[in-house]
Each structure stands twice: as structure tokens, then as C-alpha cells.
Amino acid sequence: MNKFLKKFLIVLSVLIVTLPVLNLKNVKAATEPDVNASAAMAFDVNTGQIIYSKDPEKKVAIGSITKIITLYLVTKAIKEGKLSESDQLTPTVEQSEMTQSDELTNVRLDVDKAYTVKDLYNAAWIVSSNSAAMMLAQKISGDQASFVKLMRKTLKEWGIKDAEINNASGLNNSDLKKGMYLGKSDAENKLSVNDIAIIVKHVLNKYPEILKTTSKQNFLFPEGSETKTYTSLNLLLNGNRDYQEGYEFDGLKTGTTDQAGDSFVGTLPMGDSRIVTIVMDAGGDDDDQDKRFRATQNLAKYVKDNFTNKKILSKNQEITIAHNKKKYKNENDVYMWLPKDFNENSLSYNVSKTDLGFKTKVNNKTYKLIATNTPSGYLPYPKEEVVIKKIKKVQKSLWHQITEFFENLF
């Protein structure tokens, strides 16, 4: 071997040893998930860390995923004592007739029968009853248009400024009667995957007990003089046909309309954390009822096979941020989803600009830090809820009140 070649090999070996660790932004898992959908996401609901996303800002029709917002507000009303699970509600003629339609039916609601809030709540979550959701919304706000305004206000408080929310059920407005919606007569509720993720994080952070309802494989509902058993539309639940052992989904909500296609927001415990999956408008044959769940399974499997929820920092460990030279001491152990072969020591940190991150202290002041070079980043989760002025209740005309009175008599 000549002297030049020896020198070249020595220089090359030095360069290889001294090269910086790859920036995590450029690190990808070995495979990409087979998620045939218009938009999708997988994220950790506890930390808000995004593990995978596809077109997260694309605005898409959401169908009955709308009911996550509706039923959050119903849950809130129950928790605040404004509504009781034992309260009895009676459907209007129009709400009852909707449950007789082949395209809109699931649980049957009779105009001369009263139903408990608990039964309607179960029906709206588990089999996505549109009329049940509308009855609950109407009970809370007095009429559905006012409830839609409450939904819009809630989303704005969560930092979602451009949501298209027109009704409480998720149907296209063309399937509804006047008074059941706001906006154009053919409008449909639309959100981005980012928006849906923010909503789900708020909902599960505040009311994790919702999962006791969404995890039910079936439930009983009064029908006529009998009681009928209904099976959940979530086919990934244990006991349903798309269940896979090791992937214990316990929620959350399906969504289906012509515009929305077949969509699904799922959630399952994974390790010591909880993963949320979002699949919007799953691709495949029109009569394939399993496509959204198959795409969801592929996404959950991708996370489980390629990532580990690693401890990246220990309690009381000091972190120095380069630009201000301050030393931050974190309050607890910190975990993050990372590719299995990734070196967590290459992570860098900064003060969080959102409400996400882990708590640290400097000079007795508390700050939240966040890793700045994760593969997919974090949800755009606002630092503080936006203060919105109190909404005005929609005033019904005298004629509308008279008409509604007589509709409920017969």
C-alpha cells in the first residue's frame, strides 16, 4: 500500500469518527405504514408528540367524528350538574322520522316515548345515532342552532380558528331539516387532522372516563316494549370482527358520509402511554366496511414495530440550552417515542412555545422545555385557551315556536 493511500485512509477514518450524530429530523423508521387514506396521524395523547402524519393540515369532511365535540359538551354538562343521566327526553317528529330512514337509521326512536340521557349518550357514542346526538344538543342549548354556536366557540377557545362546523350530528346539511343546522343547505362539517388531534387531546385529557363508554362492544337500548342489543360500529374492539390481540383499542369514533368516506379516530394503550390514530377517507372499494380499520391497524402496528417510548431524561437532570446558557433542571423522568435504533443523546431542547413540553425549573421559576428536532414534531397545541365572548342564543320566531309546539303534540 503506497504512502498516499495510507494517508487517505487515515484522514477518512478520522472524518468518520468525528462526524456529528445525524439530526433527528432526517431520521426515518425503516418502513412507512400502509395507510391508504386522504389524511392520517398517530400521536401520543399524553405528550402531544406526533409519531406519524399525512397531510395533517388538509381540510376534510369528518362525518360523525363531529360527535366527539358534541358528546364532549354533553359530558361537560353532566359533570357540571346541568344535565342528569336520568333525565328523560322525547324526540321531535322529525328526529323520530330520521331513525326510520334506511340511510340514517340505527336505534329506533319513537315520538311518543321518552328516553334517558344515559341511553341517548350510549347510542350516540357507540352506534353513532344522529337523532340521539341532536336530542342531547337541543336539551343543552334549547335548540340545535345555538348548540352549533357553542361547538364553534369551544373550538375557537382551543385555538382552532377555521373549523367548518354546521351541525351537531356530522350529516350533510342536505339530510337535515331547517333548524337542525347553520350555514348553507348542502354544507358539511370539515376539519384538518391537526384539528381533530387537538380536539381529542382536550377531550381525553379532561374526561378519560369517556373510554368506559366507547370501549363497550355492545349495549342495550329500549325499542318499543322490548330491549334490543346493539353492537358497536368500532370493529376493532375486543369481540368484534377486526379485533387483533395485542392491539386493545377502546375508542373512539367512526365517521361516514359521502364526502367524508369511511373515517375513524381510534385510541389504544401502548406501553405506559396512549396512542391516538386518525384515518380520514380510507381508500378502497365502496362496499369494503373494514378498510378504515385495516388502515388503522397498519398505523398502530407501524408505531409498535418501529418506535419505542424511551426515557430521554432522568428526574433532576440538568439541560443546558445553547442560546441562553441557562441550566434547566427537569422535575420528572421524560419519555419520547423514537425510532428503536436512535440515540436519544442527540436530542436538543428549547423553551416550549405551546402548552406542550416537560416542566423544568431555573432560579425557582417554572418553564416547559420541548425537544426541537423530533421526526414529526408536536401538535400545534395553544399555550392558553383563547377567551371568546359569550355567544348569543338563537331566538326562535313566534311561528317557529307554535309549529314546534304542535309537532311535539302528535
Active-site hit among 38, 53, 54, 67: 67
Residues 6 or more apart whose Cβ sits within 8 Å of residue 41: 50, 52, 53, 54, 56, 193, 194, 196, 197, 276, 277, 278
Residue 99 has pLDDT above 70, yes or no: yes
Helices (H), 207-269: 210-214
DSSP β-bridge partners for residue 42 = 52, 277
Q: Which of 95-109, 213-227, 256-270, 347-361 has the lowest mean pLDDT?
A: 95-109
φ, ψ of residue 50 in degrees (nearest 5): -85, 130
Could you please state the CATH topology (level 3) that the domain comprising 37-306 is classified under: Beta-lactamase (3.40.710)
| Grid cell locating 26 | 432526517
Residue range 56-71: mean pLDDT, rounded: 98
pTM for the model: 0.87
What percent helix, strand, coil does the chain show, rounded to 5? 30, 25, 45
Does residue 128 have an active-site annotation? yes
| 160 touches 69 (CB < 8 A) | no
pLDDT at position 260 is 93
pLDDT at position 405 is 45
Residue 195's nearest CA partner among 381, 385, 63, 337 is: 381
Does residue 190 have an active-site annotation? no
Residue 393 has pLDDT above 70, yes or no: no
Long-range CB pairs of 384-391, under 8 A, 24+ apart, other chains included = 384/355, 385/157, 385/158, 385/159, 386/156, 386/157, 386/158, 386/159, 387/157, 388/153, 388/156, 388/157, 391/146, 391/149, 391/150, 391/153
Query: Over the stretch 251-289, which tens digit does the pLDDT of each residue have?
Result: 999 999 999 999 999 999 999 999 999 999 999 999 999
**DSSP readout, 120-148?**
HHHHHHHS--HHHHHHHHHHHHSSHHHHH
Query: Over the stretch 215-252, which tens digit does the pLDDT of each residue have?
Result: 999 999 999 889 999 999 999 999 999 999 999 999 99
pLDDT at position 34 is 86
Active-site hit among 64, 129, 192, 352: 64
Domain ranges of the chain: 37-306, 309-371
Active-site hit among 128, 146, 192, 215: 128
Residue range 10-34: mean pLDDT, rounded: 47
Q: Vertex 45, ends 276 and 53: CA angle to 5°?
A: 55
- The count of other CB atoms within 10 Å of the CB of residue 387 is 7
- The count of other CB atoms within 10 Å of the CB of residue 123 is 25
pLDDT at position 142 is 96
pLDDT at position 17 is 38
Share of the chain above pLDDT 90, in %: 77
| 394 touches 143 (CB < 8 A) | yes
Query: Over the stretch 109-158, which tens digit does the pLDDT of each residue have?
Result: 999 999 999 999 999 999 999 999 999 999 999 999 999 999 999 999 99
DSSP β-bridge partners for residue 59 = none
Three-state SS at 395: coil
Distance separating alpha carbons of residues 33 and 306, to the nearest angstrom: 10
- Higher-pLDDT residue of 3 and 150 is 150
CATH number of 309-371: 2.30.140
Residue range 379-394: mean pLDDT, rounded: 63
| 102 touches 291 (CB < 8 A) | no
Residues 6 or more apart whose Cβ sits within 8 Å of residue 59: 162, 164, 190, 191, 192
